[in-house]
Structures are given as structure tokens and as C-alpha cells.
């Protein structure tokens, strides 16, 4: 049964009615009394909502009342939003000064389909009448009248940190050991047709995937198998999709093949003669023919290859496994309690009462050893020492409820104790298909667009949304993606819970729902407020006609899994969806949007990333409420609307992977927080000075075409030094060797960033030397840089003293043709003492054609260095003595450089490639390398037996 939570929406409506712009215009329009009455009625309803939301599960009458209230509240939100937009437009009109600009502005906004003033006033009156009638029904329902208050402000969890998503694993030591024995055993008697398939079987939430991850990432497994791949299968056992996913996981590259035959032939070639490990996670299909077709190319792997399957189905295990299935059990009592306490109690706390501990152990017992349930309830009770709260969890009726047989009671309990605004944020995620990875920032931006984030004083909405997200993660509603580190996903049982909660409010259109019939789907979509369309092979383009009934829709997400044949969506489609707040068409093959997009005045979020769109309609610049516009990797995009400076509520403009000129007056968008790319023009209205007033910029920005900046004075206008929230900065010139390097030096001098910046990339800088802020030891020591990239700075003759950066972890030096020597200045000195690179882990020196010497680096200058790559440095004959490097890669270098290798006694991995004249390895090269585990020699053509060797050292 779907649940209704209206307190955040009604609260937001009351807040909107107090907006200063609305206060001004309601007098001019003669609707002061109507709006005040509406506000009063909303406040009355608001006072009883918490009680009503609590009663809806047990009272159908209360639920019906909430449903009627929900409908009128959404209608009120649309009308108030339109009223507020009109008020905002009036304010902008008053700010326009010159007649020429005014005419241009009015020509743009005149086509916006606002309701006439009298019709809007009538709408407000009608909504107030409906709301009054609903409010009067409250007394018959015996809802308690009390002072409405917002959920108490939740402090950010103290345990949330960079490792929040790395849950401690309890009770799986023996399980891991037994499966590792099956994986690594040389005993070929367990094989069937040379490939052993091991099935891990157990109910949902038991930790099958977690166990498989522990095994997959074990160092012994990494060393034993030449190729590894992880593929999430889920309910859709599509052979083409899975084969492609296996190839991409094994090669770490995108695969463009679309037909099954070439895909399987490609996989066969990849596996030929190689020992591999493949994990097929969450398999549901019980059709033997599915497995038989997928299995065909896998048989070409080397003997000793293994496949791990995780599944809830014993029948799947019977079909796929070549040895008896591994039945995973729940955690024992001690491990269950350890997992629970790790979540529920603050690390190091010693004030846990005996009674609280006794209650906790009873709660854990009810979870029956299921890690997902234990983590969820532990997160719910984190740092809560109220014994009555613990008792209420223990004695909740949900433990005995038969209403949700397919959902763990513990998960529902954890959900029930969320604040209403977090409930709707969680339910919204049911729009994603199962096993879909999603980004934290993008989801938060969608929540903001939908009005789910409740303001807290001056705190940024994005920061409040981050708190929401972290709470949901801590309570195990979200978890780190298994495939993309920076993204998140939901356990399939959590996803089931989200779907159950959201009901028809959030509805996915996929092959299953589409095949259920046109009439039924239209009926559901007519009620839905948020919808996603999962584009698969069998979906017909006619599906968009069904959305014509979705006049209430606030969210439309397109999730493309197969070829998108549509180049342009019809005007009718957009005209029907007048209430949209979120429009996400990322990944579609659309080339243009119709001009009527400007009619969607409620839009807050548009994502057209990775589409083939060439330009946006000029009417886009009249979407005053727009907060997020994502155009990342729109490589066909040629320009933004000329009046984009009208979008003064824009907070996020994504242009990553684009190379377009900036529209004039972008500096007026003072609410911008993210601007991934800014291309400099010589015209002042598009010049670098437009960045001056964008004081809230944060995250990453690449500033391109810096050759269009003429001097230090101009570059200082960007005011980078004051942008303390920026995290990553790219400064890029065009690759033009004829450019005057002296001008570049002047420009870079004025582009000094704030010392809080963490990543700096300088590309195709033409100067001979770097500016003082990079060359002075005392200057660099104040920077927080962890990553530096110097790329294509071909004329520079000396490196900055980067050893003085106290937090530097990664350094790339690429394509500096003018550099002949790396000396002690690279490390830098303070008061005669060489500090070195205290935290440097990753160092790449690539394409340095004139580099001859690298000296002045003490043995302990880089005590944390793990990876060192030297490539295309043909004149370099000796490496410095570095005592900590573990992974060394030498590519296309002078043979003499190999004589330095024996001094690097800590090496565990050595790669030697493209030494075309190499006849043999230097005598004694490997003998001192006692820690070496992996040796790779490729494309060394001087001697046949050195042509290609890639193996763990133990195989020699």
C-alpha cells in the first residue's frame, strides 16, 4: 500500500506564500484577501498532518482524506508557483533599463503561456474553497490539533566520513576461506569442461554479494587470475547485454558491438588461453537455455578458470553450478550483535546501559542473522539512548505483519522512523530500475527541483540534501556501487520497499508495464506525479502518446538501455506536461527540442547530457525557475541561448566535454554554484571577467581558450584567488606553437587560485617559466593541492618546487619539451632543508623528449610513492633512488634506464614495454627484487622470447 506524506509539501506552500515578491504583487493584483485566506487554511491543515500521516495505515477514512488533500495541495503548488513566477517576471521587467534591451526581453517572455490575471485569481479562489472543505472534514476524523513544527534538525552524523560506505563485514571469515579454496585449488577434478561454476545461494539481504566482493577483491585472487570480471545480472537475463557487460568489465573499455555473434566471438578471443574469474551477481533466470547460450564463449578460457554465481534460487544453482552449491547462512548471535553495535553505538562509547543492551539483543534476534536488516536498524537507533524508542522498535506490530510478506519488517521499521521529507526522497528513488547506479549530486539536485529539501536558515539546500543522503546511506537505504566507486545503488529488497511505499505516485514504464495494456497504463499515468521510461529493445516510440494523459506529471526520467531511434520529441508531448519540474533525457539520440519547451514554466531541472542536441531553443532562456541545466558531453552543441543571462536562478550549469562559446552576460548568474567549463572570448561580455561575480562557484571548472586573455590585469578579473569553494581547476590554452609565450606568462600570473584548491591542471601553457605563485617555496607550502597535472607546457625549462606541497598525492608531468634536467629545485628547500614529497603516491613522467637527467632527489624524498610511470623519455638514462616505489612502468625509454631498476628493491610489479632494441635484460636485474610479484614485458622486439611476457613471477 502506497503511503502519503504531505507535511513537507504543505509546509513549503506556506513558506512560498510569505515570499516578499508575492507579498508585493498580491496588492497590485487585488488578491491579497484570497492568498491570506489560503495561507490560513494551509496552516490549519498543516497542524494536523503529522497525526493524519501516522493514522493512515490503520484508517481508510484518514487515508482518503489525505488523498483528497494531496490532490488539492499539488494543484495549489502549481498555481502558487505560477503566481510566484509572474511576480518574479514583474520584478525583472522593472529592472530592465534601456528600451532596446527591454524590447528584446519582452519578445522572449511574451510567448510564455501564463494564465491571465483574472483566471489566476479565480484559480486561487477555487483552490481555497476546495481546501476549506477538506479542512472542515478534519474534525470528523478526530485528528489532533497541535502546533505544527518541523522535524527537529538532525545534526550531521559524526561517523559519516570518507569511509561511510565501507561497512565492516562480520562472520564471513570461514565462508570466504572455503570458497577461496575452491577458486585457488589446483585440483582439476572439480572441473567440468575445464570451467568450475560455484553458486552462492541464500535469501535476500543475507550478504551473498558482500561475500562475493570480499573474494573478488582478495589480493590472492587478483594475482591468481589473469582476467577478472564482475557483472550484475538481475531479472533481465539478456544474453547480448550480459556478453557486452562481461567484455567491458574484462577489458575496462567500452564495447560498441551490438549483435550477439560478434560479441561472443570477441569474448572468445579475449578469453582464449587465459585463466579468468567471472562473477555473475544476482541471477534469477531458471531457463537452462539462457545459461547454455551465455556459457558458449566462456569455455575457451584456460583450465582453472572459475565462475561465481550469486542467487536466491536453488533451481538456478542446479542449472549453472558444476559442484554442490554453497548455501550461505545467517550470521550467528555474536557476529550479529557486533554488526549491530558498530552501527547503533558511537565508536568508543562506554555508557550503554545494560537495559539498552538487553533490548538491542532482542531486536537483533528478530533480524534472524540477516546483515541488511541488522545494519538498517542499527543505523536507525544510532546514538539514541532513549529506552522507550528502543522498546517501541522491539514491540512494533510490524514484526508480525503479513501485509508486506516480501519485505523485511526491519526495513519497514527503519523507514517508518524517517522524517516525512526523507520518506519522499527515498520513495522517489523507486523511479530507478533495480541495480541502477546513481550519482549523489544529481539525485540531490532532483530532490531540490521537486521541493523535497526543507530550508534550514542560511544553509545551502545542496548541503541539507547531502545530510539527507548520508542519513539514508547510514541506515542502509543506499550503498556504494559495486562497479563505479563514485556512485550509489540500492539493494533489490530496499528497492522493493521503495516501490511499495511510492505506489502509483512514482511509476516506471518498462517492457512489463507497457505490455500490460494501453488502457491500464494510461489510467496509472493519469494519477502519477513522477515517472521514468525505461527504453528497451521492445518499446515502441508510440509509448509517448500514453504520456499525453499524464497532465499531473512532475518528473520525467528517460533511462536508455538500447538504441534510441527518436531524433525529436513532439511539441504535443511537452505541451501536455505543463507541471514538469524535472526533465531528464540524458543519453537519448535527440538532436533538438521544440520551442514549446519555454512553456514549461515550472521546470527546475533539465538534463540533456550525452545527447546529439545542436542548440537549445531561445525560449529556454525564459525558464526563470530553472536551477540545473546539464549539457555534459553534448559534442554537437554549438551554442547556448543568447539570453541565457535571464536564468538568474540557475545553480548548476554542466558543460563538461563541450567546447562552445559562452553566451553574453553569464556573470549575471550570481547563483551559479557549478560551472564545469568556461570558454573565454575576447568580447568583454563573454570574457574572463564574467567569472568575477560568480562568488559561489564550487566543484570543478575548466577555463578554456586562455589565449584570448591579453594580460595580468584581465586574468585577475576572474578573481580566482577569492573563490574559496572551488575544488578542481583547469587552466587551458589552445595547442598553438606560434603563440607568444610572454603573454601566457602574464596571464597565468593573474590566475592564482585560492589556496584551498585540491586539483590543478595546466594545459598548453606557452611560457618559459611558471609564475611566482608556483615557483616560490613559501607560496606553495600554503596550498592544499593533492593533485597537479602539467600537460603540454612545452617551453618551460624548470619545474616548480612541487615537493613543497604538503598534501600532494598525484603528479603528472607530460609533454614539457624544454625541460632537460630535473634537479633539487623540483623538491625545493625551506631554510636549507629539503622537504621532498611527503605524501606523493602516484608520479607520471611522460613524453619528455629532451629530459636527460633526474637528480637531486634523496632516497627518502618520496616515502609514500607507490606508482611510478616513465614513458617516451628517450634520453633519460638513470632513475633516482626511490626507496618506496612498488609499481614501476617503463615505456619507450633508453635501455640504460633499466640499470637503475635493481636499486628499487621494494618493487612488487615491473612493466617494461616498447623497448624495441632490447636484446636481453641487464644481468642481475631481477635478483635484488625480492618483493617482485608481477613482471610484464611487451613489445620488446630485439629478441623473440622477450616479445610478450605477462605473468605473475611465480609462473617463471
pTM to 2 decimal places: 0.81
Query: What confidence tens digit (pLDDT) does each residue in 641-668 have?
Result: 999 999 999 999 999 999 898 999 999 9
Per DSSP, the residues of 882-924 read: -SS--EEEEEEE-GGGGGGGGG-TT-SEEEEE--TT--SPPTT
Band of the pLDDT at 476, cuts 50, 70, 90?
Answer: confident
The H-or-E segment that residue 362 falls in is helix 354-366
Report pLDDT for 210: 87
Band of the pLDDT at 140, cuts 50, 70, 90?
Answer: confident
Report pLDDT for 713: 95
d(CA 595, CA 704): 30
Q: Which residues contact 712 (CB under 8 A, 6 or more apart)?
A: 746, 747, 749, 750
Task: Indicate whether 154 pLDDT > 50.
Answer: no
Report pLDDT for 555: 96
Report pLDDT for 280: 92
Report pLDDT for 93: 62
Of 38-47, 355-364, 390-399, 504-513, which range is least confident? 390-399
Task: Indicate whether 953 pLDDT > 80.
Answer: no
Mean of pLDDT values over 265-282: 91
Report pLDDT for 609: 96
Query: What confidence tens digit (pLDDT) does each residue in 155-207 have?
Result: 333 333 322 233 457 778 888 988 988 888 765 544 444 678 999 998 788 88
Report pLDDT for 323: 87
Band of the pLDDT at 371, cuts 50, 70, 90?
Answer: confident
End-to-end CA distance of the chain: 63
Percentage of the residues of the chain whose pLDDT score is greater than 70: 87
Report pLDDT for 118: 66
Mean of pLDDT values over 84-90: 75
Report pLDDT for 408: 65
Task: Indicate whether 89 pLDDT > 80.
Answer: no
Report pLDDT for 640: 94
Task: Indicate whether 461 pLDDT > 50.
Answer: yes
Report pLDDT for 764: 97
Higher-scoring residue by pLDDT: 289, 58: 289
Q: Does domain 504-660 have CATH number 1.20.1250.20?
A: no
3-class SS of residue 558: strand
Q: Does domain 173-327 have CATH number 1.10.10.10?
A: no
Tell me the domain boundaries of the chain. 7-141, 173-327, 333-503, 504-660, 901-956
Query: What confidence tens digit (pLDDT) does each residue in 280-310 have?
Result: 998 988 888 888 889 889 988 888 899 999 9
Is 590:607 a contact under the CB 8 Å cutoff? Answer: no
Report pLDDT for 142: 67
pLDDT mean across residues, the chain? 84
Band of the pLDDT at 348, cuts 50, 70, 90?
Answer: low
Mean of pLDDT values over 823-842: 81
d(CA 787, CA 793): 17
| Sign of torsion over alpha carbons 740, 744, 745, 746 | positive
Q: How many Å separate Cα 565 from the centre of its chain?
A: 27
Task: Indicate whether 923 pLDDT > 70.
Answer: yes
Mean of pLDDT values over 420-425: 91
d(CA 746, CA 742): 7
Highest mean pLDDT among 66-80, 123-137, 606-620, 818-832: 606-620
Report pLDDT for 3: 75
Report pLDDT for 922: 84
Q: Which residues contact 822 (CB under 8 A, 6 or more apart)?
A: 799, 851, 853, 854, 855, 856, 857
Query: What confidence tens digit (pLDDT) does each residue in 529-579 have?
Result: 999 998 877 677 777 888 888 889 999 999 988 777 788 888 988 998 999
Is 718:692 a contact under the CB 8 Å cutoff? Answer: yes
Task: Indicate whether 681 pLDDT > 90.
Answer: yes
| Cα dihedral: 65, 66, 69, 70 (round 10) | -150
3-state secondary structure 400-464: HCCCCCCCCHHHHHHHHCCCHHHHHHHHHHHHCCCCCCEEHHHHHHHHHHHCCCCCCCCCCHHHH
Give the residue carrying C-alpha cell 626511490.
882
Is 920:943 a contact under the CB 8 Å cutoff? Answer: yes
Mean of pLDDT values over 333-340: 88
Residue 193 CA: distances (Å) to CA of 305, 316, 949: 11, 19, 27
Query: What confidence tens digit (pLDDT) does each residue in 871-897 have?
Result: 999 999 999 888 889 999 999 999 899
Band of the pLDDT at 942, cuts 50, 70, 90?
Answer: low
Query: What confidence tens digit (pLDDT) does each residue in 483-501 have?
Result: 787 899 998 888 988 998 8
What single-letter DSSP state applies at residue 310?
E
Task: Indicate whether 392 pLDDT > 80.
Answer: yes
Band of the pLDDT at 402, cuts 50, 70, 90?
Answer: very low
779-807 burial, b at 16+ Cβ within 10 Å, e below that, comes to bbeebebbbbbbbbbbbbebbbbbbbbbe
Band of the pLDDT at 149, cuts 50, 70, 90?
Answer: very low
Task: Indicate whether 944 pLDDT > 70.
Answer: no
Report pLDDT for 266: 92
Is 68:147 a contact under the CB 8 Å cutoff? Answer: no
Highest mean pLDDT among 4-13, 286-295, 518-527, 936-945: 286-295
3-class SS of residue 74: helix
Is 367:374 a contact under the CB 8 Å cutoff? Answer: yes
Q: Please provide the size of the chain in residues.
A: 956
Mean of pLDDT values over 240-249: 90
Report pLDDT for 832: 62
Task: Indicate whether 735 pLDDT > 70.
Answer: yes
Task: Indicate whether 719 pLDDT > 70.
Answer: yes
Per DSSP, the residues of 760-822 read: EEEES---SS--HHHH-HHHHTT---SEEEEES-TT--S---GGG-TT--EEEEE--TT--EE
Mean of pLDDT values over 369-373: 84
The H-or-E segment that residue 197 falls in is strand 196-201
Amino acid at each position: 500500500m502506497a503511503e502519503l506524506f504531505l507535511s513537507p509539501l504543505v509546509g513549503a506552500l506556506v513558506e512560498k506564500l510569505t515570499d516578499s515578491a508575492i507579498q508585493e504583487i498580491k496588492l497590485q493584483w487585488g488578491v491579497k484577501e484570497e492568498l491570506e485566506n489560503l495561507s490560513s487554511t494551509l496552516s490549519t491543515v498543516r497542524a494536523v498532518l503529522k497525526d493524519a500521516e501516522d493514522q493512515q495505515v490503520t484508517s481508510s477514512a484518514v487515508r482518503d482524506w489525505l488523498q483528497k488533500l494531496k490532490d488539492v495541495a499539488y494543484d495549489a503548488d502549481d498555481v502558487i508557483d505560477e503566481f510566484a513566477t509572474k511576480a518574479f517576471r514583474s520584478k525583472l521587467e522593472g529592472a530592465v533599463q534601456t528600451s532596446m534591451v527591454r524590447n528584446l526581453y519582452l519578445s522572449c517572455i511574451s510567448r510564455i503561456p501564463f494564465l491571465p490575471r483574472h483566471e489566476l485569481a479565480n484559480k486561487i479562489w477555487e483552490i481555497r474553497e476546495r481546501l476549506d472543505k477538506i479542512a472542515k472534514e478534519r474534525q470528523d476524523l478526530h485528528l489532533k490539533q497541535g502546533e505544527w513544527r518541523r522535524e527537529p534538525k538532525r545534526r550531521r552524523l559524526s561517523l559519516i566520513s570518507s569511509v561511510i560506505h565501507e561497512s565492516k563485514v562480520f562472520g564471513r571469515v570461514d565462508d570466504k576461506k572455503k570458497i577461496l579454496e575452491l577458486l585457488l585449488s589446483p585440483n582439476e577434478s572439480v572441473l567440468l569442461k575445464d570451467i568450475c561454476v560455484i553458486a552462492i545461494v541464500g535469501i535476500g539481504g543475507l550478504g551473498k554479494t558482500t561475500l562475493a566482493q570480499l573474494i573478488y577483491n582478495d589480493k590472492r585472487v587478483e594475482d591468481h587470475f589473469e582476467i577478472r570480471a564482475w557483472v550484475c545480472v538481475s531479472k533481465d537475463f539478456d544474453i547480448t547485454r550480459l556478453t557486452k557487460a562481461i567484455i567491458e568489465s574484462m577489458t575496462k573499455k567500452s564495447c560498441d558491438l551490438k549483435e550477439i555473434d560478434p560479441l561472443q566471438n570477441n569474448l572468445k578471443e579475449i578469453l582464449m588461453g587465459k585463466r579468468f574469474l567471472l562473477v555473475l551477481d544476482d541471477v534469477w533466470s531458471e531457463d537452462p537455455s539462457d545459461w547454455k547460450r551465455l556459457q558458449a564463449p566462456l569455455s575457451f578460457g584456460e583450465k582453472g578458470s572459475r565462475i561465481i554465481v550469486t542467487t536466491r534460487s536453488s533451481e538456478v544453482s542446479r542449472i549453472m553450478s558444476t559442484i554442490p552449491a554453497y548455501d550461505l547462512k545467517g550470521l550467528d548471535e555474536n557476529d550479529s550483535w557486533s554488526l549491530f553495535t558498530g552501527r547503533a553505538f558511537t565508536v568508543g562509547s562506554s555508557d550503554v546501559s545494560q537495559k539498552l543492551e538487553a533490548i538491542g539483543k532482542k531486536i537483533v534476534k528478530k533480524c534472524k542473522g540477516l546483515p541488511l536488516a541488522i545494519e538498517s536498524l542499527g543505523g536507525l537507533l544510532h546514538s539514541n539512548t532513549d529506552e522507550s524508542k528502543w522498546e517501541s522498535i522491539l514491540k512494533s506490530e510490524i514484526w508480525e505483519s503479513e501485509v508486506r510478506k516480501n519485505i523485511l519488517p526491519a526495513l519497514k521499521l527503519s523507514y517508518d522512523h524517517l522524517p516525512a521529507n526523507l520518506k519522499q526522497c527515498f520513495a522517489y528513488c523507486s523511479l530507478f530500475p533495480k541495480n541502477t547506479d546513481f550519482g549523489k549530486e544529481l539525485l540531490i539536485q532532483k530532490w531540490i527541483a521537486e521541493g523535497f529539501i526543507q530550508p534550514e536558515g542560511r544553509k545551502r539546500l545542496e548541503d541539507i540534501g547531502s545530510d539527507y543522503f548520508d542519513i539514508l546511506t547510514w541506515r542502509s537505504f543506499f550503498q556504494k556501487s559495486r562497479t563505479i566507486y563514485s556512485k550509489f545503488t540500492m539493494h533489490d529488497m530496499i528497492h522493493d520497499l521503495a516501490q511499495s511505499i511510492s505506489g502509483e505516485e512514482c511509476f516506471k514504464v518498462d517492457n512489463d508495464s507497457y505490455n500490460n495494456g494501453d488502457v491500464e497504463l494510461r489510467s496509472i499515468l493519469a494519477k502519477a506525479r513522477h515517472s521514468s521510461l525505461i527504453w528497451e529493445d521492445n518499446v515502441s516510440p508510440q509509448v509517448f502518446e500514453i504520456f499525453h494523459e499524464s497532465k499531473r506529471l512532475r518528473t520525467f526520467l528517460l533511462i536508455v538501455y538500447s538504441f534510441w531511434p527518436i531524433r525529436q520529441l513532439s511539441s504535443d508531448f511537452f505541451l501536455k506536461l505543463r507541471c514538469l519540474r524535472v526533465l531528464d533525457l540524458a543519453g537519448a539520440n535527440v538532436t533538438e527540442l521544440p520551442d514549446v519547451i519555454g512553456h514549461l514554466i515550472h521546470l527546475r531541472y533539465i538534463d540533456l547530457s550525452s545527447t546529439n542536441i545542436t542548440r537549445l531553443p531561445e525560449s529556454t532562456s525564459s525558464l526563470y525557475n530553472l536551477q540545473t541545466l546539464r549539457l555534459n558531453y553534448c559534442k554537437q552543441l554549438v551554442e547556448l541561448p543568447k539570453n541565457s543571462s535571464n536564468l538568474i536562478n540557475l545553480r548548476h550549469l554542466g558543460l563538461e566535454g563541450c567546447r562552445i562559446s559562452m553566451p553574453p552576460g553569464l556573470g549575471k548568474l550570481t547563483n551559479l554554484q557549478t560551472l564545469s567549463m568556461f570558454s573565454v572570448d575576447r568580447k568583454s561580455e563573454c570574457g574572463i571577467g564574467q567569472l568575477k561575480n560568480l562568488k559561489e562557484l564550487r566543484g570543478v571548472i575548466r577555463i578554456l581558450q586562455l589565449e584570448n586573455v591579453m594580460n595580468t590585469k584581465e586574468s585577475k578579473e576572474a578573481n580566482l584567488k577569492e573563490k574559496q569553494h572551488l575544488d578542481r581547476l583547469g587552466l587551458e590554452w589552445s595547442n598553438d606553437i606560434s603563440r607568444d609565450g610572454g603573454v601566457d606568462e602574464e596571464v597565468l600570473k593573474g590566475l592564482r587560485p585560492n589556496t584551498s584548491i585540491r586539483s590543478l591542471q595546466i594545459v598548453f601553457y606557452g611560457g618559459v617559466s611558471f609564475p611566482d605563485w608556483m615557483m616560490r617555496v613559501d607560496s606553495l607550502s600554503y596550498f592544499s593541492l593533492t593533485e597537479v597535472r602539467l600537460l603540454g607546457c612545452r617551453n618551460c625549462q624548470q619545474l616548480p618546487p612541487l615537493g613543497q606541497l604538503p598534501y600532494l598525492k598525484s603528479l603528472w608531468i607530460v609533454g614539457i619539451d624544454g625541460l632537460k634536467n630535473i634537479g633539487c629545485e623540483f623538491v625545493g628547500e625551506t631554510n636549507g632543508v629539503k622537504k621532498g614529497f611527503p605524501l606523493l603516491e602516484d608520479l607520471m613522467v611522460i613524453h619528455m623528449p629532451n629530459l636527460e637527467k633526474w637528480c637531486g632527489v634523496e632516497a627518502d624524498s618520496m616515502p609514500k610513492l607507490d606508482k611510478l610511470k616513465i614513458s617516451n623519455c628517450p634520453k633519460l638514462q638513470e632513475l633516482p633512488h626511490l626507496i618506496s616505489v612498488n609499481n614501476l612502468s617503463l615505456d619507450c625509454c633508453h635501455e640504460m634506464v633499466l640499470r637503475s631498476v635493481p636499486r628499487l628493491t621494494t618493487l612488487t610489479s615491473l612493466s617494461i614495454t616498447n623497448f624495441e632494441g632490447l636484446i636481453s635484460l641487464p644481468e642481475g636485474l631481477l635478483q635484488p627484487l625480492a618483493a617482485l610479484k608481477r613482471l610484464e614485458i611487451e613489445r620488446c622486439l630485439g629478441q623473440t622470447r622477450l616479445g610478450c611476457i605477462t605473468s605473475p613471477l611465480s609462473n617463471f
